């Protein structure tokens, strides 16, 4: 298969100037404000987005180092396969975060619960719809016994370039 290329549609702004110290999931970033600047050529695509309380941001982990297929995640001392975790050093360094949409002013989206480093390239925005996105699950793998650490866990810089 040929290489796939994406062009950013905007940039995400947050108080986090580097990965180290950044919350590792939106649930661990409650109340942290940020903005999403959608480039003007894509602003038309924001029509009707203001009707959603939450949106899914899809972005490029532009500061992550070379990928590794086995890594030690932030909330565990054991090594796991990269596809069994949400760390940034992936074969395709793509991140997703579901954030609260506070308001839109022209091409600027004001958001909360931001777990993203400032100046991160935005690839896409999708509306969060519970009927589409929430699933009943039977198991959450190794995370089941570790998820309680989320609120205290921050990026420690281990995946940074």
- Mean pLDDT, 10 residues at a time, over the chain (161 residues)? 92 93 76 96 98 97 87 81 87 94 98 95 97 79 61 62 56
What pLDDT is recorded for position 134? 80
What pLDDT is recorded for position 153? 62
- Asked if residue 160 belongs to a domain, the reply is no
- Asked if residue 4 belongs to a domain, the reply is no
What pLDDT is recorded for position 74? 72
The DSSP symbol for 24 reads S
CA distance 137 to 153: 24
- Asked if residue 21 belongs to a domain, the reply is yes
What pLDDT is recorded for position 146? 57
CA distance 132 to 138: 18
What pLDDT is recorded for position 76? 77
- Asked if residue 161 belongs to a domain, the reply is no
- Asked if residue 95 belongs to a domain, the reply is yes
- Asked if residue 2 belongs to a domain, the reply is no
Give me the domain span that covers residue 129.
10-152
- Asked if residue 154 lies in contact with residue 24, where contact means CB atoms within 8 angstroms, the answer is yes
Choose among 29, 10, 20: nearest CA to 114: 29
What pLDDT is recorded for position 45? 98
- Asked if residue 96 belongs to a domain, the reply is yes
What pLDDT is recorded for position 161? 56
- The domain tally of the chain equals 1
CA distance 107 to 146: 38
Query: For the whole model, what pTM was predicted?
Result: 0.84
- Asked if residue 35 belongs to a domain, the reply is yes
Whichever domain contains 101, its CATH number is 2.40.30.70
What pLDDT is recorded for position 147? 61
Choose among 125, 150, 155, 145: nearest CA to 39: 125
What pLDDT is recorded for position 145? 65
What pLDDT is recorded for position 143? 59
């Amino acid at each position: 298969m040929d290489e796939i290329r994406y062009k950013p549609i905007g940039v995400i702004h947050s108080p986090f100037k580097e990965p180290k110290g950044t919350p590792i999931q939106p649930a661990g970033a409650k109340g942290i404000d940020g903005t999403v600047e959608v480039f003007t050529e894509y602003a038309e695509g924001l029509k009707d987005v203001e009707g959603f309380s939450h949106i899914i941001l899809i972005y490029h982990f532009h500061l992550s180092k070379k990928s590794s297929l086995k890594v030690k995640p932030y909330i565990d001392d054991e090594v796991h396969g990269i596809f069994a975790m949400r760390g940034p050093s992936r074969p395709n360094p793509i991140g997703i975060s579901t954030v609260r949409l506070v308001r839109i002013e022209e091409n600027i989206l004001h958001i909360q619960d931001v777990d993203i480093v400032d100046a991160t390239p935005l690839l896409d925005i999708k509306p969060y719809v519970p009927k589409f996105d929430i699933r009943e699950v039977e198991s959450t793998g190794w995370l089941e016994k570790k998820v309680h650490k989320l609120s205290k866990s921050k990026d420690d810089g281990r995946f940074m370039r």
